Amino acid sequence: MCAAMVNSVASRSARSINFYLFRFDLRVRDNNALIAAVERSSKSDYFIPVYCFDDKTKNQTPYSTTKASPERTQFLIESVASLRGGLRSSGTDLLVGVGDAAEYLSGLLSRVKESGEEVGDVKVFCQEEFCSEEVKVNRSVERAIKTFNQKRGHPNPTGGGSIVNSIWGSSLYELEDAPFDVNSVPTVMTQFRTKMEKNCAIPNCVETFGKGHTCGGIPVILKGEGEKELPGLKDLGFDEALPEADKRAAFEFKGGEENALARVQEYIFDLDLLKTYFETRNGLIGANFSTKFSPFLAVGSVSPRYIAHQCRKYEAERVSNKSTYWVIFELTVRDFCRYFAKRFGDKIFQLDGILGKEARGRHPNSIRWNYNPALVDAWKDGTTGFPFVDANMRELKATGYMSNRGRQNVASFLALDMNQDWRYGGYWFEEKLLDYDIYSNYVSWIMAAGMTGGRVNKFNVVKQGKDYDPKGEYVKLWCPELQDVPIAKIMEPWRMSKDEQKEAGCTLGVDYPNRVVEMKTFQRKEGKDGVKAQRKKKNKEKYKGGQYSIRE
């Protein structure tokens, strides 16, 4: 047999390997990127699902925070465990590594090659992400596979196609259906929503990943890799065990697709709460004033389309009203953050946001940012002397959760009242929030800081506390030293006289901190003229544009 014929036979007998690299889509139900990857694979190809935990989880950012707290990491571990179970039920498995994804995939390929099996084309599929860290991983993976191919004399592994194939996913609307291209994504949420709702339909959910999607399975030499135990917190660099859950926590979050689907079923159908969401969504205490879907959405244990279609089902079977629309609206807000980030990329992490040099005095929203470590630490620890801010920040630190109402207030306070570099807030949220999502988090922060050029939505944290916690129940829950402060002064304890402080058992500067900054407090003026004056002042302070931040 001639050499050309031998090579031809070897080429035909070699099996291609297609990896699917999970990141923020940890589910088997309605995972359009995963299904698309399978559809692009031959039935004879090896199809290997992979997840890599970042072993740099505890590394500090430039802002003296870590990339994730132990609580958020534990939620992620639970979510990956659930994904592995779902894949096993579908006839395949999940290979789990710790550390650099490129190194892990290279190691898997080397083991297959060393087993004597001929390796054909090698491709990697994943959900599309477009911020620098995720793009860097993709490039590193591509270089690693190119190196592997060169070592085995296989320089053109995909017939000229891409090695790393990113597929749009985990959005409510499909990118290709948008009535604008990426470079003209609106920077104002209202404009985005109007165009999307008018021109786009929410796509149907794709089928659940099942046994018919497993292609050629996983190479025999790698079967043992799928039997390894998942890493624990210590394996990922955390020395301490998780503390006992705080009894004041609004909700006990457990990661995983089955828990995500159970919460959707519970909130929408079992408890029948969807019909009143609009009225309750600004609550502060308890499990059911809001959906609590966001941690599951953040890691991709449930898709926004699945939630939207469950809302539509509820509307068809029970009632359709402003509340049922509003949950879908807020999924649209989430899409807005994702589309916005795709347009502007890493500008969402930069101090001047998308304004760039315009923010240095040439734009009405220009701010000269400061950094005072003592002030930032007071904000992070909930010791600013402003009870509504402190209660929210203490809840975040203790539980990894904060209401949307709280997030808007504490962000406004850090950036616009304390005048501190807003990025410290963004990175603190990244570390602490169980529902941290790259796009929703940082787009919301640059909007809060006014760095998109839209309206600066400054919150009066005293007035907000009075409006949304009128009896001080939330503040007293998280700031128990204020338990006996008169309700009239619970949001402004500095207004207490010495005798009142003594009566309340709360001496300022001793039992509860003095204010770290001063700000104008809201004083409601009585009478027709007073209300009119307040409206006039409020309208005068408005800028064009709009700010929205993602709800929980």
| Binding site residue list for FAD | 277, 290-294, 435-437
Counts of helices then strands in the chain (DSSP H, E) = 20, 5
The secondary structure element, H or E, covering residue 72 is: helix 70-89
Distance CA 304, CA 373 (A): 38
Residues 6+ apart with CB under 8 A from 451: 351, 352, 353, 354, 355, 359, 365, 422
DSSP string, 289-305: SS---HHHHHHTSS-HH
Cβ atoms of 24 and 298 within 8 Å: the answer is yes
Distance CA 189, CA 546 (A): 7
Tell me the Ramachandran region of residue 361: left when phi exceeds 0, alpha when psi lies from -120 to 50, beta otherwise: left
Burial of 126 (0-12, 13-18, 19+ CB in 10 A): buried
What are the φ/ψ torsions at residue 203 (nearest 5 degrees)? Answer: -60, 155
Binding-site residues sit at 277, 290-294, 435-437
Distance CA 302, CA 71 (A): 20
Angle (deg, nearest 10), helices 257-265 and 304-317: 20
Cβ atoms of 188 and 546 within 8 Å: the answer is yes
- CB count in 10 Å sphere of residue 398: 17
DSSP secondary structure letter of residue 51:
E
Cβ atoms of 10 and 152 within 8 Å: the answer is no
In this structure, the chain runs to a length of: 552
